[in-house]
Amino acid sequence: MPTSATSNHPSRPEDLIGRLNSAHTPYEAKLKALRDLKNQIIGNRTKKLAFLKLGAVPSVVSILSSAAAAQGGGGDNREFYESVLIQSAAVIGSFACGLDAGVKAVLDAGAFPLLLSLISHLNEKVADAGARSLKLIYQSKRAPKYEFLQEKNMEFLLSLLNSKNENVTGLGANIITHSCQTTAEQQALSEAGVIKRLVGLLGGSINQKDASLESLAAMVKENPEVSAKFMGPENGRALNVVIELMKDKHPRTRLLACMCLISIRNTSTSYLQDSGIKNSLVSVLLELLDDPGPVGDEAPFVLSSLITEKEDMQKIAFNANLIEKLCEHLNAGSYQAKRLQGIFLLLGDLCSKLECCRDRVLDLQVLNFVTEALAHDSAEVRTAACNFLKNVSRSVKNLSAGQFMNEAVAVPLVRLLCDSSSSVQIAALGAISNIVVDFMAHKSVLVQCGGVKQLVQLSKSMESAIRVNAVWALRNLTFLVSYRCKEEILLELTSATLISLINDPEPSVQGQALALVRNLVDGTLNSINYVFGEDGAVLHAIARQLRSTSKVEVQIQGMYTLSNVASGNELHKEAVMNQLLPQAGNDAEKTLVKFLQSTDSRLCTATLWALINLTFPGSPGTCRRVTELRNAGIITQLKNMINDHCLDVKLRARMALGQLMIFGSVWTWYTSIKV
């Protein structure tokens, strides 16, 4: 008799899930269904997602739970139920492997405590299956945080590390790598003797070596005390073992050995600072960049941790032709997002300090690849490309040549200001902030492609990091800009917006807003008139902020802004004078003297410049302003500043007094000064 169509396709997803869920399906059939399911999803992301949508994970976890309860009762079917446990754990691990959605489904279904319970199973195969599954879960950022500081948890972790089962010890190391995040946790693990156990695993299997290296890197990271313990005599020649592992035949082991050594090196300037180890680290990681698999994807990030903010390491990497190597990879064609992100991250690191790196990058025409990276599907790639542009555009000579302010760069950057990711928006703002510090001939490009409108819009963001970076970009855009360009900017940037930014709750935004106004009023008399619109509302806002703020950076920018206004005509000087010394101005007088008495020489210098501009001898109202300043005690304070330890303060104080000497008794006192 011919079979039905249904029985010819017993492994269709719907049929498999039906067999797993049915109360009428015998356990033998469920065991076969579990094997079929495992075989279908191993290494197949598409199949995993399809089965996730059908609710496969809760069905498997339910079978795991039932089998655990049934085999606990003993009986003749113990071996059968243990087989079900092994297959269920294997299926759960497969769903979690490399798929965050799978990890989430596994955790939501309550599999985690069931898998943990399998670790202590008397059947080593069951324990091994549970450990394998948990290891795969702990490779994901979604894995639950393990609380080391609880005594029972620490005891359990030590039992894992002391196990004779390779997967169980690997699980213990993976838990450390995932969950060891604070100094207190690092210290607790160290005091519990974990370092010694991990060092012991360095002599084990390849999996144990790799797990140990990664865990050690997590434990010593930014912790000098734990690093010192690792380097101490109680751990024998552990450091030499790790150094030797940089030569291991397995690429991942070499990568993790480098990562561990970099964690130690970055923790203290006392460790691993000789040129031999520096060159070896760069050489090994440079070679690993060519690995076609996951090691090659991760190598740029490890190398980045070695050279970030370290000019000496960047020079070594430059001399080892790292830039040429990265360009070869870009020229080779498309990569997975992580690899591309790492390449631009490294290029950005290299260009952060050294002009020779920026020149080499531009000579090799890396900018040709940036436009595509700025439009990449991955937010991480877009962010890395923006950060690269931010660093490479620190080159003054290349800015002046207009290398960056062109449509090929500006247009995609402006598009990213509307990106759905705030991290991308902030990175794009950072790049724009550097690129617009350009010479006047090129700044109009950003205005023409709608950049100003987007920057003003982002300056009103609810997220302070976006606001401050948006205002910073506007500040740099208005630096040494033409009057015509200022007019175009102010079509979007209203007085009300400026006042709102000056009064922003975040001091960092206040400071950037005042610096923006400082640039706007720098230049012609027409520029200064910007702050006098709407009855001088912007000028009043600046003065109020100066009187109320306690943040030095805000005070400095505010005083420089008023100094620029005071460089104008008599009307402008009088307006500043009225803000600094109003008729009923006791508080204002104290503020002005307080600024001159500040321990921050930058604030003193900014205040002195304002006084110099207010007392310029050629202005008709100077004599009266000098009298008011003398009555406020300002001249007495200036006398105390002519021998200041800061050269800027000393010169500006003497300059101010030099201008004042033609008025009354100041001349007599000034001529008695011993230079």
Model confidence over 172-187: pLDDT tens digits?
999 999 999 999 999 9
Given 144, 179, 196, the domain boundary residue is 144
- Tell whether 98 is covered by a domain: yes
Given 94, 123, 144, the domain boundary residue is 144
C-alpha span between 248 and 246 (Å, rounded): 6
Q: Check residues 393 and 71 and name the one with the higher pLDDT.
A: 393
- Tell whether 310 is covered by a domain: no
CA dist list (Å): 280 to 292, 303, 539, 613 = 21, 12, 59, 58
- Tell whether 629 is covered by a domain: yes
- pLDDT range class, residue 29, cuts 50, 70, 90: confident
- pLDDT range class, residue 73, cuts 50, 70, 90: low
Residue 26's pLDDT is: 82
Q: Count Cα neighbours of 588 within 13 Å in the Cβ-side half-sphere.
A: 19
DSSP string, 177-218: HHH--SHHHHHHHHHTTHHHHHHHHTTS-HHHHHHHHHHHHH
- Tell whether 264 is covered by a domain: no
DSSP string, 477-509: HTTT--HHHHHHHHHHS-HHHHHHHHT-SSHHH
On the 0-12 / 13-18 / 19+ scale of CB atoms within 10 A, 364 is middle
DSSP string, 418-477: T-S-HHHHHHHHHHHHHHTSS-HHHHHHHHHTTHHHHHHHHTT-SSHHHHHHHHHHHHHH
C-alpha span between 643 and 628 (Å, rounded): 24
Alpha carbon 191 to its chain's center: 31
- Tell whether 577 is covered by a domain: no
Domain count, the chain: 2
Instruction: Find the Cα–Cα–Cα–Cα dihedral 274, 276, 277, 278, rounded to 10°.
Output: 80
Q: Which residues have CB under 8 Å from 221's CB, separation 6+? A: 186, 263, 266, 267
* Element holding 67 (H helix, E strand): helix 56-72
Q: Which two tokens stand for residue 308?
A: 């970030």
Q: Which two tokens stand for residue 423?
A: 């991290």
- Tell whether 53 is covered by a domain: yes
Tell me the percentage of the chain whose pLDDT exceeds 90: 67
Model confidence over 490-536: pLDDT tens digits?
889 999 999 999 999 999 999 999 999 999 999 888 899 999 988 89
C-alpha span between 642 and 658 (Å, rounded): 11
Model confidence over 317-335: pLDDT tens digits?
999 999 999 999 999 877 7
Q: Is residue 587 over pLDDT 70?
A: no
Q: Is residue 671 over pLDDT 50?
A: no
The single residue listed with the structure tokens 């510090």 is: 437
DSSP string, 345-391: HHHHHHTTT-HHHHHHHHHTTTHHHHHHHHT-S-HHHHHHHHHHHHH
On the 0-12 / 13-18 / 19+ scale of CB atoms within 10 A, 28 is exposed
Query: Mean pLDDT score of the chain, rounded to an integer?
Result: 89
Contact 506, 468 (CB under 8 A): yes
Among 314, 374, 388, smallest CA distance to 344 is for: 388
Q: Is residue 267 over pLDDT 70?
A: yes
C-alpha span between 673 and 316 (Å, rounded): 54
C-alpha span between 86 and 410 (Å, rounded): 57
Given 123, 144, 165, the domain boundary residue is 144
C-alpha span between 652 and 638 (Å, rounded): 10
Residue 158's pLDDT is: 93
Q: Which of 52-66, 355-369, 401-415, 445-459 has the lowest mean pLDDT?
A: 401-415
What mean pLDDT is predicted for residues 59-75? Answer: 82
CA dist list (Å): 38 to 83, 124, 538 = 14, 21, 69
Q: Is residue 5 over pLDDT 60?
A: no
Q: Is residue 631 over pLDDT 90?
A: no
Phi/psi of residue 180, each to 5°? -80, 100
- Tell whether 404 is covered by a domain: no
Using left for φ > 0, alpha for ψ between -120 and 50, and beta otherwise, residue 365 falls in left
- pLDDT range class, residue 431, cuts 50, 70, 90: very high
- Tell whether 621 is covered by a domain: yes
CA dist list (Å): 567 to 297, 460, 524, 572, 623 = 56, 31, 10, 8, 16
Among 563, 561, 550, smallest CA distance to 514 is for: 561
Model confidence over 454-469: pLDDT tens digits?
999 999 999 999 999 9
Write out the residue range of the structural domain in which residue 21 sits: 12-71+78-144
* Element holding 30 (H helix, E strand): helix 27-41
What mean pLDDT is predicted for residues 6-16? Answer: 62
